[in-house]
Amino acid sequence: MTEAALKTLIEITAGVTLAVPVGRLDFEASTGFQQAIEQAIAGAGASAVVVDCAQLEYVSSAGLRVFLIGARAAKQANVRFSVCGLVEAVRRVFVVSGFDKLIVEHPDRAAALAALQ
Amino acid sequence: MIGLVEELVLLAIEDDGAIAHTAGSVGFGMSLIGAALVELSNRGRIDADLDSLRVMSREPTDHPVLDRVLQLLVIEETLTVEQWVLRLASETPELVRLALKSLVGRGVLEQTESRFLWVLRSRRYPVIDGREQKEAKLRILSTLLGEDLPTPHDTVLLGLARAGGLLEAFLTSAEIARLEGRMEQVSGIDLFVRGVESAIREDQVERARAMMLPMY
């Protein structure tokens, strides 16, 4: 059995749920990532979800769709949703697709958490 | 429930069943190819990034347009989405024919034939009850007029309809101009749609360049 290309770690810091994808987010990994994001949004008392992408190496078209699904679900649940720490390759996908116009982005985790205080 | 390919074709059908002139444009054809690529991606047959399109499975989908496009995605070299859209553009008439046949087969459209000036044959595709066509228009309008973030399906539908020149069929120029800001924000948030838009621009540049060439 091969190791999953993406793991998503969930951390809770100062009332903020952090989702930390580690690896490559492509079609095969997108279902698992979507479940993790949906659970983070639905998590008890979550008022804000930050996806810390510092360890996300790659995102494909299918992976990008999960970010849109997550941002939409968060807005509908009245949960603030943002991303931080985008590496250059992932940032390029966000910019070219236009997703950067829809979502709040911070340079790193500290900036994302500070913005939520 | 119909898919993106059929939704785009329905948006190109006029009230009297005639196919809008936009359906003959390069932009419409490339948007239709984009719709097929998005649906293939949703079904796990392909995936893409900024550098390449990857075929993950050649298992047929039982959808005539998608299976035709999947068959054409023969990977002999690494091509971007834009390059694939440009390469497949010549297949548009066949893809439209397959989509119309599928819609007639599903009872969404009917096919009628008449004679124009007693000689020229004219084929029309009147919409049977109009529900699917209205739904596609409503999805686009609610994306444009609402404040929510769009679903992946709706942002793609809007983006491809916009790229294919289909919005003009049910929005006035003034309405399109008024909604331009929202459109820029929520239209086509997808790498396949961006590939279609780049392919259309590239095609326009090539055509302009060809027109500038000296005639001798």
Residue A103 has pLDDT above 60, yes or no: yes
Write down the domain spans for chain A.
6-116
| The total number of structural domains that make up chain B | 1
Residue B127 has pLDDT above 90, yes or no: no
Residues 8-37 of A with CB under 8 A from B: 26-27
In angstroms, the Cα distances linking A85 to A42, A92, B125 are 23, 13, 51
Predicted confidence at residue B151, as pLDDT, reads: 96
Residue A44 has pLDDT above 70, yes or no: no
The tokens for A5 are 């290309």
Residue A37 has pLDDT above 80, yes or no: yes
In degrees rounded to 5, what are phi and psi of residue B88? -85, -5
State the DSSP H helix or E strand holding residue B152, giving kind and residue range, or none if neither: helix B152-163
Average pLDDT, stretch B79-94?
95
Residue B119 has pLDDT above 80, yes or no: no
| Domain presence at residue B135 | yes
Mean pLDDT of chain B: 89
* CATH code where residue B131 lies: 1.10.3630.10
Q: For residue B188, list chain A residues with Cβ-Cβ distance below 8 A.
A: 98
Secondary-structure class of domain A6-116 per CATH: alpha beta
Predicted confidence at residue B134, as pLDDT, reads: 87
Predicted confidence at residue B31, as pLDDT, reads: 96
Residue B149 has pLDDT above 50, yes or no: yes
Predicted confidence at residue B114, as pLDDT, reads: 63
Average pLDDT, stretch B136-158?
94
User: Which residue's entry shows tokens 């023969």?
Assistant: B74
Q: For residue B56, list chain A residues with Cβ-Cβ distance below 8 A.
A: 27
DSSP percent split of chain B into helix, strand, coil, nearest 5 = 60, 10, 30
Residues of B with a Cβ under 8 Å from any A Cβ are 41, 44, 47-50, 56, 148-152, 155, 184-192, 194
Predicted confidence at residue A1, as pLDDT, reads: 43
| Domain presence at residue B98 | yes
Verify whether the Cβ–Cβ distance A97 to B191 is below 8 Å.
yes
Predicted confidence at residue B18, as pLDDT, reads: 72
Name the band, by pLDDT with cuts 50, 70 and 90, for residue B212. confident
Contacts 24+ apart (CB under 8 A), B84-90: B84/B33, B84/B37, B84/B53, B84/B195, B85/B30, B85/B33, B85/B34, B85/B37, B85/B195, B85/B196, B85/B199, B86/B30, B86/B199, B86/B202, B86/B203, B88/B33, B89/B26, B89/B29, B89/B30, B89/B33, B89/B199, B89/B203
* ipTM of the complex as predicted: 0.92
Q: What is the pTM of this model?
A: 0.91
Share of chain B above pLDDT 70, in %: 91
Its domain, for residue B106, covers 4-211
Q: Please indicate whether residue B211 or residue B191 has the higher confidence score (pLDDT).
A: B191
| Residue pair A76/B148 in contact by the 8 Å Cβ criterion | yes
Residue type, B117: L
**Integer Cα distance of B89 and B103 in angstroms:** 21
Share of chain B above pLDDT 90, in %: 65
Verify whether the Cβ–Cβ distance B194 to A26 is below 8 Å.
no
Residue B23 has pLDDT above 50, yes or no: yes
Predicted confidence at residue A114, as pLDDT, reads: 94
Average pLDDT, stretch A92-104?
94
Predicted confidence at residue A38, as pLDDT, reads: 94
| Domain presence at residue B216 | no
CB distance from A91 to chain B under 8 Å? no
Q: Which of A33-47, A90-104, B132-146 has the weakest average pLDDT?
A: A33-47
CB distance from A102 to chain B under 8 Å? yes
Q: Which residues contact B116 (CB under 8 A, 6 or more apart)?
A: B122
